[in-house]
Amino acid sequence: MGDTKIVIQFAIISRILIVLLQLVSNYLIPDHDANVFISPKSPTLNGSACHSLVEKCFSGFRRWDGEYFLHVAEHGYTYENMLVFYPLFPFCVRYITNLGQTIIGTNCEFRDLALIIAIALNTVFFTKAALVLYQLTMEIFNDRSMARIVTTLFCFNPASIFFTAPYSESLFCWLSFSVMLYCARGRIGAAVLPLATGICCRSNGLLNFGFILYYVTRDIWTNGKTNWMHFFKSFLKVLLCAIVAGAAFGVVQAYFYSLYCENDTFEMSEAVKNYGIVKKYLLAGERKADWCSYPLPFSYSYLQSHYWNVGFMKYYEFKQIPNFVLASPILIMIIYHSIQFIMANPTIALRLGLLQPKSNVQIVKFNLFVYTVHAFALSIFCLFFVHIQVSTRMLASSTPYIYWLCAQYFQREMQRNSWKAFLQPRSRITKFIKGWFLGYFVIGTVLFCNFLPWT
């Protein structure tokens, strides 16, 4: 059986396990009253067989931020605080759900069908991400056993629940890894589409432009210093990518601006409107938002600070120690190895990974430089600026670096089938990695689907 088929099988099996874990734990454990946002139900929501089935089998996925994504899919951006959830994923769910209702009729309410569609989409996106990660690993390391271990780790990664629940992690991961793969292969033009759509998916999608800038700069450094035509073509590629990236970001911001700075009417149900009034949310069409008067009227930073208390070291509170502990494995792993990489490869670091070495051993490290810097920068940002508990899912969906680091430990002791290396670790560190990945895979799912802290 080819590696591609095995990767697909692993990805799908891992998603089935998540669904089953959710089903069992949601049935056995009563939901915690987390006092968080719950999308208001329509008074017309019926007690159909579809509704009962979805509630019994999949309601554990409708938790935490998943409520926001599904609300946007069903009702749009009715409340100002929802603008931090970018539109690509919820709009995909909306349009496919509408199509599904057209085909099967309205026996299944939008709310119920949207949840099923979101889970199905994320299964597809996750499988796509696993395949691209396999290809990217082959491109960087040229090592099939390494690629196999990496994709096995990815399929059972510690943020797995967020790759199946109605979050944008799977879609963003697929798009981000695609940008990296196209850049590594020198296909800068092909990277434009996943770059632009990734920006419409998550706010940190703009960072992926750095890979395009880096790879084009490296190409110019290698081939364009004495070839002005090559330099000019490379410059045009970067300019085109920058324009497309800026346009994608601008479209999202313009859409948000039109809703909360220009639009004085927004159709919403009475249930949605009344819920927003009770919660004291700013409703779309109610009045101009405060950030509309900013010189650059971008909503994201304002909303993160105003609604979510996100800012430099704002999360450094005694009560958040358990969340710091939960985030510590991935942060320590990336930060420690990033610093170690830079110290062990000062020549590559000082040359910013632009001057290709002649040694085959150094070529892999040369190729790793940009991913190391990217992962390190994201980790430092998580450590000081975000709600620390989101670090695991943010890093697991944004960078392949954590999977490469962990896979290298397994590869060092591997003397058997590479697909099974993850199941039979030998050293303490590989046993810890296996325990961390599988432990978070199981515990995270159980906690998440019962509204217990795991966001």
Spatial separation of the C-alpha atoms in residues 231 and 223, rounded to whole Å: 8
List the chain residues with pLDDT less than 70: 1, 43-47, 106, 223-226, 358-361, 414-423
Q: What is the pLDDT of residues 92-127, one digit of tens each?
A: 999 999 998 888 776 788 899 999 999 999 999 999
Contacts of 11 (CB under 8 A, 6+ apart): 123, 126, 127, 130, 131, 151, 155
Q: What is the pLDDT of residues 10-38, one digit of tens each?
A: 999 999 999 999 999 988 988 888 888 88
Distance of CA 350 to the CA centre of its chain: 31
User: Residue 93 has what pLDDT?
Assistant: 97
User: Residue 417 has what pLDDT?
Assistant: 55
Structure tokens at 314: 């704002």
Distance of CA 450 to the CA centre of its chain: 22
Structure tokens at 274: 């009344």
User: Residue 169 has what pLDDT?
Assistant: 97
Q: Position 154: which residue type?
A: F
Structure tokens at 388: 């620390």
Q: What is the pLDDT of residues 152-207, one digit of tens each?
A: 999 999 999 999 999 999 999 999 999 999 999 989 989 999 999 999 999 899 99
User: Residue 77 has what pLDDT?
Assistant: 94
Q: Does the pTM of the predicted model rise above 0.95?
A: no
Q: Write the Ramachandran bin of 313: left for phi over 0, alpha for psi from -120 to 50, otherwise beta.
A: left
Cα separation of the two ends of the chain: 37
Spatial separation of the C-alpha atoms in residues 261 and 80, rounded to whole Å: 11
Residue that is written with structure tokens 């199946």 in the block: 164
Question: Residue 229 burial (CB < 10 Å; 0-12/13-18/19+)?
Answer: exposed
User: Residue 439 has what pLDDT?
Assistant: 95
User: Residue 102 has what pLDDT?
Assistant: 86
User: Residue 205 has what pLDDT?
Assistant: 92
User: Residue 225 has what pLDDT?
Assistant: 60
Q: What is the CA radius of gyration of the chain?
A: 23
Spatial separation of the C-alpha atoms in residues 229 and 262, rounded to whole Å: 46
